[in-house]
Amino acid sequence: MSVFQSLPGFREFYPEDCALRNFIFNCFRRTAETFGFEEYDAPIVEPTELFTAKSGSEIITQLFNFEDKGGRQISLRPELTPSLARMVGSRAQSMKKPIKWFSVGEQFRYERPQKGRLRSFYQFNADLLGDDSIEADAEIIALAIQTLRNFGLTCNDFHLRLSDRQLWMLFIKQHTCDENCMLAILGIIDKLEREEEAKSMEALEKVCPSMGEKILGDIKNLKSIHSLEGLRKFFEEFKVPSAAVNARIEEFAQLLARLDSFGLLDFVSIDFGIVRGLAYYTGFVFEIFERSGQSRALAGGGRYDDLIGKLGYANLSAVGFAIGDVTLGKILEEKNLTPKLLKSIHCFIVYTKKTAAVAMREMMLLRENSVGVDYCLAPAPFSRQLKAATQAGAKYAIIFGETEADASCAVVKNMALRSEELVEFPRIIEVISQ
Ligand code: HAM
Protein backbone atom coordinates (compact mmCIF):
# COMPACT_ATOMS: atom_id res chain seq x y z
CA MET A 1 0.00 0.00 0.00
CA SER A 2 1.30 3.44 -0.90
CA VAL A 3 2.11 5.84 1.90
CA PHE A 4 0.59 8.61 -0.18
CA GLN A 5 -3.13 8.61 0.51
CA SER A 6 -5.52 11.47 0.03
CA LEU A 7 -6.56 13.32 3.19
CA PRO A 8 -9.68 12.17 5.09
CA GLY A 9 -12.82 13.77 3.70
CA PHE A 10 -11.25 14.71 0.35
CA ARG A 11 -12.36 12.97 -2.82
CA GLU A 12 -10.40 11.95 -5.87
CA PHE A 13 -12.36 12.30 -9.08
CA TYR A 14 -11.61 9.51 -11.55
CA PRO A 15 -13.02 10.19 -15.06
CA GLU A 16 -16.38 8.56 -14.28
CA ASP A 17 -16.65 10.65 -11.07
CA CYS A 18 -15.74 13.80 -12.98
CA ALA A 19 -18.38 12.95 -15.57
CA LEU A 20 -21.02 12.69 -12.81
CA ARG A 21 -19.80 15.97 -11.29
CA ASN A 22 -19.99 17.75 -14.65
CA PHE A 23 -23.46 16.35 -15.27
CA ILE A 24 -24.58 17.74 -11.89
CA PHE A 25 -22.91 21.13 -12.44
CA ASN A 26 -24.42 21.46 -15.93
CA CYS A 27 -27.90 20.94 -14.51
CA PHE A 28 -27.22 23.56 -11.78
CA ARG A 29 -26.07 26.09 -14.36
CA ARG A 30 -28.84 25.38 -16.87
CA THR A 31 -31.55 25.71 -14.24
CA ALA A 32 -30.13 28.93 -12.73
CA GLU A 33 -29.98 30.49 -16.18
CA THR A 34 -33.62 29.61 -16.89
CA PHE A 35 -34.49 31.63 -13.77
CA GLY A 36 -32.43 34.63 -14.96
CA PHE A 37 -29.51 34.17 -12.51
CA GLU A 38 -25.95 35.16 -13.46
CA GLU A 39 -22.83 33.22 -12.47
CA TYR A 40 -20.14 34.69 -10.18
CA ASP A 41 -17.29 33.32 -8.05
CA ALA A 42 -15.32 34.40 -4.98
CA PRO A 43 -11.90 33.54 -3.51
CA ILE A 44 -11.41 30.01 -2.16
CA VAL A 45 -9.34 31.45 0.74
CA GLU A 46 -10.60 34.33 2.90
CA PRO A 47 -9.59 36.13 6.10
CA THR A 48 -10.74 33.84 8.93
CA GLU A 49 -12.54 36.76 10.55
CA LEU A 50 -15.06 36.92 7.71
CA PHE A 51 -16.47 33.61 8.96
CA THR A 52 -15.87 33.84 12.70
CA ALA A 53 -17.74 37.14 12.81
CA LYS A 54 -20.75 36.19 10.74
CA SER A 55 -21.44 32.49 10.21
CA GLY A 56 -22.08 31.36 13.79
CA SER A 57 -20.48 29.05 16.29
CA GLU A 58 -21.00 25.72 14.49
CA ILE A 59 -19.05 26.83 11.42
CA ILE A 60 -16.25 28.24 13.59
CA THR A 61 -15.51 24.79 14.99
CA GLN A 62 -15.36 23.45 11.43
CA LEU A 63 -13.00 26.00 9.90
CA PHE A 64 -10.06 24.80 7.85
CA ASN A 65 -7.83 27.65 9.00
CA PHE A 66 -4.13 28.47 8.87
CA GLU A 67 -1.68 31.28 9.33
CA ASP A 68 -0.14 32.28 5.98
CA LYS A 69 3.50 33.26 5.44
CA GLY A 70 2.57 36.90 6.00
CA GLY A 71 1.15 36.08 9.46
CA ARG A 72 -2.47 36.50 8.29
CA GLN A 73 -5.20 34.26 9.76
CA ILE A 74 -6.86 32.69 6.73
CA SER A 75 -9.47 29.97 6.06
CA LEU A 76 -10.56 27.84 3.17
CA ARG A 77 -14.15 28.98 2.62
CA PRO A 78 -16.69 26.81 4.50
CA GLU A 79 -19.53 28.53 2.65
CA LEU A 80 -19.97 31.29 0.10
CA THR A 81 -22.53 33.59 1.69
CA PRO A 82 -20.16 35.94 3.62
CA SER A 83 -17.98 36.42 0.49
CA LEU A 84 -21.08 37.10 -1.58
CA ALA A 85 -22.29 39.61 1.01
CA ARG A 86 -18.95 41.44 0.81
CA MET A 87 -18.89 41.41 -3.00
CA VAL A 88 -22.41 42.75 -3.32
CA GLY A 89 -22.16 45.11 -0.33
CA SER A 90 -19.13 46.89 -1.74
CA ARG A 91 -20.82 47.63 -5.08
CA ALA A 92 -24.50 47.54 -4.24
CA GLN A 93 -25.19 51.18 -5.01
CA SER A 94 -24.25 50.87 -8.65
CA MET A 95 -26.00 47.55 -9.21
CA LYS A 96 -29.44 47.03 -10.72
CA LYS A 97 -31.80 45.32 -8.25
CA PRO A 98 -32.77 42.68 -7.66
CA ILE A 99 -29.37 41.04 -7.96
CA LYS A 100 -29.79 37.39 -8.94
CA TRP A 101 -26.49 35.52 -8.76
CA PHE A 102 -25.43 31.89 -8.62
CA SER A 103 -22.16 30.05 -8.18
CA VAL A 104 -20.92 26.47 -8.36
CA GLY A 105 -17.82 25.88 -6.31
CA GLU A 106 -15.85 23.93 -3.72
CA GLN A 107 -16.26 24.53 0.02
CA PHE A 108 -14.27 23.11 2.94
CA ARG A 109 -15.36 22.19 6.45
CA TYR A 110 -13.24 20.37 8.98
CA GLU A 111 -16.06 18.02 9.98
CA ARG A 112 -15.77 14.41 11.06
CA PRO A 113 -16.09 12.64 7.70
CA GLN A 114 -19.27 10.50 7.72
CA LYS A 115 -22.08 9.45 5.39
CA GLY A 116 -23.07 12.52 3.36
CA ARG A 117 -20.52 14.79 5.06
CA LEU A 118 -16.98 15.39 3.82
CA ARG A 119 -14.27 17.98 4.35
CA SER A 120 -14.37 19.13 0.74
CA PHE A 121 -17.63 19.29 -1.17
CA TYR A 122 -19.27 21.36 -3.86
CA GLN A 123 -22.23 23.66 -3.50
CA PHE A 124 -24.62 25.31 -5.93
CA ASN A 125 -25.40 28.67 -4.30
CA ALA A 126 -28.17 30.93 -5.57
CA ASP A 127 -29.06 34.24 -3.93
CA LEU A 128 -31.44 37.08 -4.67
CA LEU A 129 -30.42 40.43 -3.14
CA GLY A 130 -32.01 43.86 -2.90
CA ASP A 131 -35.62 42.71 -2.64
CA ASP A 132 -37.33 42.00 0.68
CA SER A 133 -40.65 40.78 -0.73
CA ILE A 134 -42.22 37.41 0.00
CA GLU A 135 -42.15 36.85 -3.76
CA ALA A 136 -38.34 36.92 -3.61
CA ASP A 137 -38.41 34.12 -0.99
CA ALA A 138 -40.79 32.20 -3.24
CA GLU A 139 -38.54 32.63 -6.28
CA ILE A 140 -35.54 31.26 -4.38
CA ILE A 141 -37.52 28.30 -3.05
CA ALA A 142 -38.83 27.63 -6.56
CA LEU A 143 -35.31 27.60 -7.98
CA ALA A 144 -34.14 25.15 -5.31
CA ILE A 145 -37.04 22.78 -6.01
CA GLN A 146 -36.88 23.12 -9.79
CA THR A 147 -33.16 22.35 -9.81
CA LEU A 148 -33.81 19.00 -8.15
CA ARG A 149 -36.80 18.33 -10.43
CA ASN A 150 -34.57 18.90 -13.45
CA PHE A 151 -32.50 15.89 -12.36
CA GLY A 152 -35.68 13.81 -12.60
CA LEU A 153 -36.45 13.83 -8.85
CA THR A 154 -40.14 14.13 -7.96
CA CYS A 155 -42.14 15.09 -4.88
CA ASN A 156 -42.10 11.40 -3.93
CA ASP A 157 -38.33 11.65 -3.67
CA PHE A 158 -37.78 14.86 -1.69
CA HIS A 159 -39.50 17.65 0.21
CA LEU A 160 -38.65 21.15 1.34
CA ARG A 161 -39.15 21.68 5.06
CA LEU A 162 -40.18 25.29 5.49
CA SER A 163 -39.94 27.18 8.77
CA ASP A 164 -39.66 30.75 9.98
CA ARG A 165 -37.07 32.32 12.24
CA GLN A 166 -39.37 35.29 12.95
CA LEU A 167 -42.04 33.05 14.50
CA TRP A 168 -39.35 31.09 16.30
CA MET A 169 -38.02 34.39 17.74
CA LEU A 170 -41.50 35.47 18.86
CA PHE A 171 -41.72 32.13 20.68
CA ILE A 172 -38.24 32.35 22.23
CA LYS A 173 -38.82 35.94 23.39
CA GLN A 174 -41.44 34.52 25.74
CA HIS A 175 -38.55 32.90 27.60
CA THR A 176 -35.61 35.29 27.17
CA CYS A 177 -34.78 38.57 25.48
CA ASP A 178 -31.02 38.27 25.73
CA GLU A 179 -29.70 38.09 22.17
CA ASN A 180 -26.96 35.53 22.96
CA CYS A 181 -29.43 33.32 24.84
CA MET A 182 -31.87 33.56 21.95
CA LEU A 183 -29.20 32.46 19.49
CA ALA A 184 -28.13 29.68 21.88
CA ILE A 185 -31.72 28.38 22.03
CA LEU A 186 -31.92 28.44 18.22
CA GLY A 187 -28.71 26.41 18.14
CA ILE A 188 -30.19 23.84 20.54
CA ILE A 189 -33.36 23.54 18.45
CA ASP A 190 -31.25 23.10 15.30
CA LYS A 191 -29.45 20.11 16.84
CA LEU A 192 -32.53 18.55 18.43
CA GLU A 193 -32.99 15.94 15.68
CA ARG A 194 -29.35 14.83 15.90
CA GLU A 195 -28.78 14.98 19.65
CA GLU A 196 -29.98 13.01 22.66
CA GLU A 197 -32.87 14.71 24.47
CA ALA A 198 -31.00 14.78 27.80
CA LYS A 199 -28.15 16.73 26.22
CA SER A 200 -30.55 19.28 24.71
CA MET A 201 -32.30 19.65 28.07
CA GLU A 202 -28.98 20.21 29.82
CA ALA A 203 -28.05 22.89 27.27
CA LEU A 204 -31.45 24.60 27.72
CA GLU A 205 -31.06 24.53 31.49
CA LYS A 206 -27.75 26.35 31.12
CA VAL A 207 -29.37 29.12 29.06
CA CYS A 208 -32.64 29.38 31.05
CA PRO A 209 -32.09 27.85 34.53
CA SER A 210 -34.95 25.63 35.85
CA MET A 211 -36.99 26.27 32.68
CA GLY A 212 -35.39 23.57 30.51
CA GLU A 213 -38.19 21.02 30.76
CA LYS A 214 -40.96 23.53 30.10
CA ILE A 215 -39.17 25.09 27.12
CA LEU A 216 -38.34 21.71 25.63
CA GLY A 217 -42.00 20.67 25.90
CA ASP A 218 -43.11 23.87 24.16
CA ILE A 219 -40.47 23.44 21.45
CA LYS A 220 -41.70 19.89 20.81
CA ASN A 221 -45.28 21.15 20.50
CA LEU A 222 -44.29 23.82 17.99
CA LYS A 223 -42.22 21.29 16.03
CA SER A 224 -45.20 18.98 15.69
CA ILE A 225 -47.32 21.60 13.90
CA HIS A 226 -47.65 21.33 10.12
CA SER A 227 -50.40 23.84 9.24
CA LEU A 228 -50.94 27.60 9.42
CA GLU A 229 -54.09 27.02 11.45
CA GLY A 230 -52.09 24.94 13.93
CA LEU A 231 -49.53 27.74 14.22
CA ARG A 232 -52.23 30.32 14.86
CA LYS A 233 -53.71 28.19 17.69
CA PHE A 234 -50.32 27.46 19.22
CA PHE A 235 -49.41 31.15 19.46
CA GLU A 236 -52.89 32.09 20.77
CA GLU A 237 -52.46 29.65 23.64
CA PHE A 238 -49.02 31.05 24.20
CA LYS A 239 -50.34 34.62 24.46
CA VAL A 240 -47.73 35.95 22.04
CA PRO A 241 -48.76 39.45 20.79
CA SER A 242 -51.33 38.55 18.17
CA ALA A 243 -50.72 41.44 15.75
CA ALA A 244 -47.14 40.34 15.12
CA VAL A 245 -48.09 36.66 14.84
CA ASN A 246 -51.09 37.32 12.59
CA ALA A 247 -49.06 39.54 10.26
CA ARG A 248 -46.39 36.87 9.95
CA ILE A 249 -48.85 34.04 9.41
CA GLU A 250 -50.44 36.19 6.68
CA GLU A 251 -47.01 36.43 5.01
CA PHE A 252 -46.57 32.68 5.40
CA ALA A 253 -49.90 32.20 3.59
CA GLN A 254 -48.74 34.59 0.86
CA LEU A 255 -45.57 32.57 0.36
CA LEU A 256 -47.48 29.29 0.13
CA ALA A 257 -49.97 30.85 -2.31
CA ARG A 258 -47.14 31.93 -4.63
CA LEU A 259 -45.56 28.45 -4.43
CA ASP A 260 -48.99 27.00 -5.22
CA SER A 261 -49.25 29.14 -8.35
CA PHE A 262 -45.82 27.84 -9.38
CA GLY A 263 -47.30 24.33 -9.04
CA LEU A 264 -44.77 23.46 -6.33
CA LEU A 265 -46.86 23.21 -3.17
CA ASP A 266 -46.66 19.39 -3.12
CA PHE A 267 -42.94 19.72 -2.48
CA VAL A 268 -43.33 21.92 0.61
CA SER A 269 -44.04 20.95 4.24
CA ILE A 270 -44.47 23.46 7.07
CA ASP A 271 -41.95 22.15 9.56
CA PHE A 272 -40.58 23.99 12.60
CA GLY A 273 -37.98 21.29 13.14
CA ILE A 274 -35.88 23.52 10.89
CA VAL A 275 -34.17 26.64 12.27
CA ARG A 276 -30.78 26.45 10.43
CA GLY A 277 -27.38 26.27 12.09
CA LEU A 278 -25.99 29.46 10.57
CA ALA A 279 -26.39 32.61 12.65
CA TYR A 280 -27.34 35.15 10.00
CA TYR A 281 -30.87 34.07 9.00
CA THR A 282 -33.67 36.49 9.80
CA GLY A 283 -36.84 35.19 8.12
CA PHE A 284 -38.17 32.13 6.32
CA VAL A 285 -35.68 29.27 6.42
CA PHE A 286 -35.75 25.86 4.79
CA GLU A 287 -33.91 22.63 4.24
CA ILE A 288 -34.49 19.98 1.61
CA PHE A 289 -34.43 16.30 2.54
CA GLU A 290 -35.02 13.00 0.87
CA ARG A 291 -38.60 11.93 1.72
CA SER A 292 -37.41 8.85 3.59
CA GLY A 293 -35.55 11.19 5.97
CA GLN A 294 -32.58 8.79 5.84
CA SER A 295 -29.90 11.03 4.32
CA ARG A 296 -28.36 14.29 5.40
CA ALA A 297 -29.84 17.51 3.98
CA LEU A 298 -29.63 18.04 0.25
CA ALA A 299 -29.90 21.81 0.59
CA GLY A 300 -30.47 24.66 3.00
CA GLY A 301 -31.20 28.34 2.85
CA GLY A 302 -33.34 31.27 3.86
CA ARG A 303 -33.56 35.02 4.24
CA TYR A 304 -30.68 36.97 5.79
CA ASP A 305 -31.51 40.67 5.72
CA ASP A 306 -28.87 41.87 8.23
CA LEU A 307 -25.66 40.24 7.05
CA ILE A 308 -24.55 42.87 4.54
CA GLY A 309 -25.20 45.69 7.02
CA LYS A 310 -23.28 43.77 9.69
CA LEU A 311 -20.26 43.59 7.38
CA GLY A 312 -20.23 47.41 7.44
CA TYR A 313 -22.07 48.15 4.19
CA ALA A 314 -25.47 49.79 3.66
CA ASN A 315 -28.25 47.34 4.58
CA LEU A 316 -29.41 45.14 1.74
CA SER A 317 -32.00 42.40 2.03
CA ALA A 318 -31.06 38.97 0.76
CA VAL A 319 -32.38 35.44 0.43
CA GLY A 320 -30.66 32.34 -0.93
CA PHE A 321 -29.77 28.68 -0.63
CA ALA A 322 -27.08 26.13 -1.35
CA ILE A 323 -27.46 22.57 -2.63
CA GLY A 324 -24.54 20.24 -1.83
CA ASP A 325 -23.23 17.68 -4.33
CA VAL A 326 -22.56 14.76 -1.94
CA THR A 327 -26.05 13.68 -0.85
CA LEU A 328 -27.45 14.70 -4.23
CA GLY A 329 -24.94 12.53 -6.14
CA LYS A 330 -25.77 9.51 -3.92
CA ILE A 331 -29.52 9.90 -4.42
CA LEU A 332 -29.18 10.29 -8.19
CA GLU A 333 -27.13 7.10 -8.36
CA GLU A 334 -29.52 5.18 -6.07
CA LYS A 335 -32.49 6.23 -8.20
CA ASN A 336 -30.71 5.55 -11.51
CA LEU A 337 -31.01 9.15 -12.57
CA THR A 338 -27.51 9.45 -13.98
CA PRO A 339 -27.39 8.97 -17.75
CA LYS A 340 -24.51 7.17 -19.47
CA LEU A 341 -21.96 9.78 -18.58
CA LEU A 342 -18.61 8.93 -20.14
CA LYS A 343 -18.62 10.34 -23.65
CA SER A 344 -17.34 8.07 -26.43
CA ILE A 345 -15.19 9.40 -29.21
CA HIS A 346 -16.84 10.04 -32.60
CA CYS A 347 -14.06 8.84 -34.97
CA PHE A 348 -11.00 6.64 -34.72
CA ILE A 349 -8.12 6.92 -37.16
CA VAL A 350 -6.57 3.69 -38.47
CA TYR A 351 -3.27 4.10 -40.33
CA THR A 352 0.12 2.62 -41.25
CA LYS A 353 3.62 3.90 -40.74
CA LYS A 354 3.60 5.10 -44.35
CA THR A 355 0.23 6.88 -44.17
CA ALA A 356 0.86 8.38 -40.73
CA ALA A 357 1.65 11.91 -41.94
CA VAL A 358 -1.43 12.24 -44.09
CA ALA A 359 -3.65 10.55 -41.50
CA MET A 360 -2.45 12.94 -38.79
CA ARG A 361 -3.06 15.94 -41.04
CA GLU A 362 -6.63 14.83 -41.86
CA MET A 363 -7.25 14.04 -38.19
CA MET A 364 -6.21 17.54 -37.10
CA LEU A 365 -8.56 19.05 -39.71
CA LEU A 366 -11.45 17.13 -38.14
CA ARG A 367 -10.42 18.18 -34.61
CA GLU A 368 -10.24 21.81 -35.75
CA ASN A 369 -13.84 21.34 -36.87
CA SER A 370 -14.82 20.17 -33.36
CA VAL A 371 -15.06 16.48 -34.28
CA GLY A 372 -13.79 14.14 -31.55
CA VAL A 373 -11.05 11.91 -32.99
CA ASP A 374 -8.69 9.45 -31.33
CA TYR A 375 -6.04 7.01 -32.60
CA CYS A 376 -3.33 4.60 -31.47
CA LEU A 377 -0.17 6.59 -30.82
CA ALA A 378 1.91 4.02 -32.71
CA PRO A 379 0.62 2.24 -35.84
CA ALA A 380 -0.29 -1.40 -35.17
CA PRO A 381 -1.90 -4.12 -37.32
CA PHE A 382 -5.30 -2.91 -38.60
CA SER A 383 -7.12 -5.59 -36.61
CA ARG A 384 -5.65 -4.23 -33.38
CA GLN A 385 -6.44 -0.62 -34.29
CA LEU A 386 -10.03 -1.56 -35.18
CA LYS A 387 -10.37 -3.31 -31.83
CA ALA A 388 -9.19 -0.12 -30.13
CA ALA A 389 -11.81 1.81 -32.16
CA THR A 390 -14.53 -0.52 -30.85
CA GLN A 391 -13.29 -0.21 -27.28
CA ALA A 392 -13.33 3.58 -27.59
CA GLY A 393 -16.99 3.37 -28.68
CA ALA A 394 -16.20 5.20 -31.95
CA LYS A 395 -19.05 5.60 -34.39
CA TYR A 396 -16.65 5.67 -37.38
CA ALA A 397 -13.22 4.27 -38.13
CA ILE A 398 -11.37 6.21 -40.83
CA ILE A 399 -8.90 3.82 -42.41
CA PHE A 400 -5.89 5.28 -44.21
CA GLY A 401 -4.64 2.31 -46.27
CA GLU A 402 -1.60 2.91 -48.47
CA THR A 403 -3.25 2.46 -51.92
CA GLU A 404 -6.26 4.59 -50.89
CA ALA A 405 -4.08 7.32 -49.39
CA ASP A 406 -2.06 7.54 -52.62
CA ALA A 407 -5.37 8.44 -54.32
CA SER A 408 -6.20 11.01 -51.55
CA CYS A 409 -8.93 8.72 -50.20
CA ALA A 410 -9.71 6.86 -46.99
CA VAL A 411 -12.21 4.13 -46.13
CA VAL A 412 -14.84 5.35 -43.67
CA LYS A 413 -16.30 2.45 -41.71
CA ASN A 414 -19.57 2.76 -39.80
CA MET A 415 -18.75 0.57 -36.82
CA ALA A 416 -22.32 -0.30 -35.88
CA LEU A 417 -23.57 -1.03 -39.40
CA ARG A 418 -20.22 -2.53 -40.47
CA SER A 419 -20.66 -0.66 -43.77
CA GLU A 420 -17.70 0.89 -45.58
CA GLU A 421 -17.39 3.74 -48.07
CA LEU A 422 -14.37 4.97 -50.02
CA VAL A 423 -14.24 8.73 -49.46
CA GLU A 424 -11.99 11.49 -50.87
CA PHE A 425 -10.28 13.48 -48.11
CA PRO A 426 -12.34 16.69 -48.48
CA ARG A 427 -15.61 14.69 -48.10
CA ILE A 428 -14.61 12.84 -44.90
CA ILE A 429 -16.18 15.47 -42.66
CA GLU A 430 -19.46 15.31 -44.59
CA VAL A 431 -19.66 11.52 -44.37
CA ILE A 432 -18.87 11.28 -40.66
CA SER A 433 -21.36 14.06 -39.86
CA GLN A 434 -24.30 11.97 -41.14
P1 HAM B 1 -25.58 24.82 4.71
O2 HAM B 1 -26.87 24.27 5.17
O3 HAM B 1 -24.48 24.93 5.69
O4 HAM B 1 -25.89 26.25 4.10
O5 HAM B 1 -25.07 23.97 3.48
C6 HAM B 1 -25.90 23.74 2.36
C7 HAM B 1 -25.73 22.32 1.87
O8 HAM B 1 -24.34 22.05 1.63
C9 HAM B 1 -26.14 21.25 2.86
O10 HAM B 1 -27.53 21.02 2.83
C11 HAM B 1 -25.36 20.04 2.35
O12 HAM B 1 -26.01 19.46 1.21
C13 HAM B 1 -24.08 20.68 1.87
N14 HAM B 1 -23.03 20.51 2.91
C15 HAM B 1 -22.79 21.28 3.98
N16 HAM B 1 -21.75 20.80 4.69
C17 HAM B 1 -21.31 19.69 4.03
C18 HAM B 1 -20.27 18.73 4.24
N19 HAM B 1 -19.41 18.82 5.24
N20 HAM B 1 -20.14 17.71 3.35
C21 HAM B 1 -20.98 17.60 2.30
N22 HAM B 1 -21.97 18.48 2.04
C23 HAM B 1 -22.15 19.51 2.89
C24 HAM B 1 -24.96 27.12 3.63
O25 HAM B 1 -23.82 26.83 3.34
C26 HAM B 1 -25.50 28.51 3.34
N27 HAM B 1 -24.37 29.39 3.06
C28 HAM B 1 -26.50 28.45 2.21
C29 HAM B 1 -27.04 29.79 1.82
C30 HAM B 1 -26.80 30.47 0.68
N31 HAM B 1 -27.85 30.54 2.57
C32 HAM B 1 -28.12 31.66 1.91
N33 HAM B 1 -27.47 31.63 0.75
Give the pLDDT confidence of 280-338 residue by residue, as tens digits: 999 999 999 999 888 889 999 999 999 999 999 999 999 999 999 999 999 999 999 99
For residue 3, being part of any structural domain is answered with no
- In terms of domains, do 101 and 182 share one? yes
- In terms of domains, do 380 and 283 share one? no
CATH number of the domain where residue 52 is located: 3.30.930.10
For residue 7, being part of any structural domain is answered with no
For residue 193, being part of any structural domain is answered with yes
Query: What's the pLDDT band for 210 if we cut at 50, 70, 90?
Result: confident
Counting from 1 in the atom list of ligand 1, the atom nearest the Cα of 59 is 3
CATH number of the domain where residue 387 is located: 3.40.50.800
Q: Which of 51, 79, 194 should be mutated for ligand 1, with most atoms under 8 A from CB? A: 79
Determine the distance separating the centroid of ligand 1 and the alpha carbon of 72, expressed in angstroms.
26
pLDDT digits (tens, 9 = 90+) for 21-40: 999 999 999 999 999 999 99
For residue 2, being part of any structural domain is answered with no
Give the range among 157-161, 205-209, 361-365, 425-429 with minimum mean pLDDT: 205-209
Q: Which of 62, 83, 123, 153 should be mutated for ligand 1, with most atoms under 8 A from CB? A: 123
- Which protein residue has the closest C-alpha to ligand 1 atom 25? 79
Determine the distance separating the centroid of ligand 1 and the alpha carbon of 300, expressed in angstroms.
6
Domain of residue 421 covers 347-432
Which residues have CB under 6 Å of ligand 1? 79, 81, 109, 111, 117-118, 121, 123, 125, 127, 278, 297-301, 320-322, 324, 326-327
Structural domains in the chain (count): 2
pLDDT of 1? 62
Residue 197 has pLDDT above 90, yes or no: no
Whole-prediction pTM: 0.93
Residue where one domain finishes, among candidates 292, 308, 334? 334
Q: Are 350 and 385 in contact (CB under 8 A)?
A: yes
Determine the distance separating the centroid of ligand 1 and the alpha carbon of 301, expressed in angstroms.
8
For residue 8, being part of any structural domain is answered with no
Determine the distance separating the centroid of ligand 1 and the alpha carbon of 305, expressed in angstroms.
19
- In terms of domains, do 74 and 137 share one? yes
For residue 6, being part of any structural domain is answered with no
- In terms of domains, do 169 and 244 share one? yes
End-to-end CA separation in angstroms for the chain: 49
- Which protein residue has the closest C-alpha to ligand 1 atom 9? 299
- In terms of domains, do 322 and 362 share one? no
- In terms of domains, do 236 and 325 share one? yes
For residue 399, being part of any structural domain is answered with yes
- Which protein residue has the closest C-alpha to ligand 1 atom 30? 321
- In terms of domains, do 125 and 63 share one? yes
Counting from 1 in the atom list of ligand 1, the atom nearest the Cα of 288 is 10
- In terms of domains, do 255 and 371 share one? no
- In terms of domains, do 30 and 177 share one? yes
- Which protein residue has the closest C-alpha to ligand 1 atom 12? 324
Residue where one domain finishes, among candidates 288, 308, 334? 334
- In terms of domains, do 178 and 319 share one? yes
For residue 342, being part of any structural domain is answered with no
- In terms of domains, do 273 and 317 share one? yes
- In terms of domains, do 310 and 388 share one? no
Residue where one domain finishes, among candidates 281, 307, 334? 334
